[in-house]
């Protein structure tokens, strides 16, 4: 296997990990108000992802860094052409991070409500825009002979791109609802299962239309297999939720995410960013990649470090594996001012 192909596959794995892990904590943030009817309820929801949300974001940093190092021409075109969309995602992520840290710093309901709104905003915006961005990457955007993006933000807001945003938002909502059901007890658990039941039809229908549209337009024959897997997994998640099998429901949406990423990357290869201006201007794994020496050094680093990162994250999830409820939430204690 060529190193360019290896790094394309590894990027697919990194994005799968990011969408699987960050997807459910986006979902929790998006469901913060629908499921959290009281301040204590919302503290339970925040605490379900409190020990892990920042670690989940490491996958985004790794994916971005790997793209820069392995495919610098792709990185340059993507981050310059999608600058405004990616800037909005970055602002939302920063606001979300600050909100997690600041919401408990002042003993005021108004203070906490404002930061809770920031958590919701910082979860909804990336959940939608990542879908819009990836849909356009796969479908292609106007790129000239120099590799420069020649469109605007409105170019990205096409029917296929907007449908991609609906798919990722609804999928993360469903994934997050299953995670909340898996991690909580009592009324919040019941509300999460009810929310998952209502979200599932939207996710299944929009996801099926999006993947079939993409596959029919540009996907290779073998990529119908992951499309089918994604569809079956989403239906299975809905069935598991009805049977109160929270763990299996969560695993099923995770499989759907992995299968969807595989289908999208499969339809993209060997391109990394197709040009709708002229196919001759397509960015591919060959003309957008770094030198062979750079890829070789990076490959050894990835082989050594990836298992370490996976082991550490697996251990952290194991440590914080137990369910929580409102009974586990102590009274708010705000440090007194000096």
Residue 332 binned pLDDT confidence (cut-offs 50, 70, 90): low
304-316 pLDDT, tens digit each: 888 888 898 889 8
64-106 pLDDT, tens digit each: 999 999 999 999 999 888 989 999 999 999 999 999 989 888 8
Residue 270: asked if its preceding bond is cis (omega within 30°), the reply is yes
d(CA 168, CA 132): 9
CB 175 within 8 A of CB 183: no
Q: In the chain, what is the straight-line distance between the N-terminal and C-terminal CA atoms, in Å?
A: 63
Task: Tell which residue, 322, 330, 299, 327, has the closest CA to residue 5.
Answer: 299
Residue 153 binned pLDDT confidence (cut-offs 50, 70, 90): confident
d(CA 228, CA 235): 11
Helices marked H in 31-108 — which ranges?
32-35, 39-49, 53-56, 58-70, 72-81, 83-102
Q: Residue ranges of the domains in the chain?
A: 3-323
* pTM, to two decimals: 0.93
């Amino acid at each position: 296997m060529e190193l360019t192909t290896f790094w394309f596959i590894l990027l697919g794995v990194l994005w799968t990990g990011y969408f699987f892990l960050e997807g459910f904590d986006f979902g929790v943030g998006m469901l913060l108000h629908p499921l959290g009817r009281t301040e204590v309820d919302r503290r339970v929801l925040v605490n379900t992802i409190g020990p892990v949300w920042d670690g989940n974001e490491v996958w985004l940093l790794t994916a971005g860094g790997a793209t820069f190092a392995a495919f610098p021409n792709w990185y340059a075109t993507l981050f310059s052409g999608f600058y405004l969309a990616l800037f909005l995602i970055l602002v939302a992520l920063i606001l979300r991070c600050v909100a997690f840290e600041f919401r408990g710093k002042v003993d005021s309901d108004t203070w906490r409500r404002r930061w809770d709104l920031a958590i919701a905003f910082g979860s909804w915006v990336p959940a939608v825009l990542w879908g819009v961005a990836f849909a356009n990457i796969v479908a292609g955007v106007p790129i000239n002979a120099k590799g420069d993006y020649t469109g605007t933000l409105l170019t990205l807001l096409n029917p296929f791109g907007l449908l991609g945003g609906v798919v990722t938002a609804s999928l993360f909502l469903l994934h997050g609802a299953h995670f909340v059901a898996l991690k909580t007890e009592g009324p919040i658990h019941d509300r999460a299962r009810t929310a998952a039941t209502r979200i599932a039809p939207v996710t299944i229908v929009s996801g099926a239309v999006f993947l079939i549209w993409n596959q029919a337009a540009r996907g290779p024959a073998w990529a119908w297999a992951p499309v089918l897997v994604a569809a079956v997994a989403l239906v299975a998640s809905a069935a598991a939720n009805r049977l109160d099998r929270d763990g299996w429901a969560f695993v099923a949406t995770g499989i759907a995410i992995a299968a969807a990423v595989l289908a999208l990357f499969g339809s993209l290869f060997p391109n990394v960013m197709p040009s709708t201006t002229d196919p001759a201007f397509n960015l591919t794994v060959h003309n957008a990649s770094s030198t062979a020496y750079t890829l070789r050094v990076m490959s050894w680093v990835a082989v050594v470090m990836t298992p370490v990162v996976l082991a550490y994250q697996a251990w952290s999830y194991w440590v914080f594996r137990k369910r929580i409820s409102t009974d586990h939430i102590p009274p708010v204690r705000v440090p007194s001012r000096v």
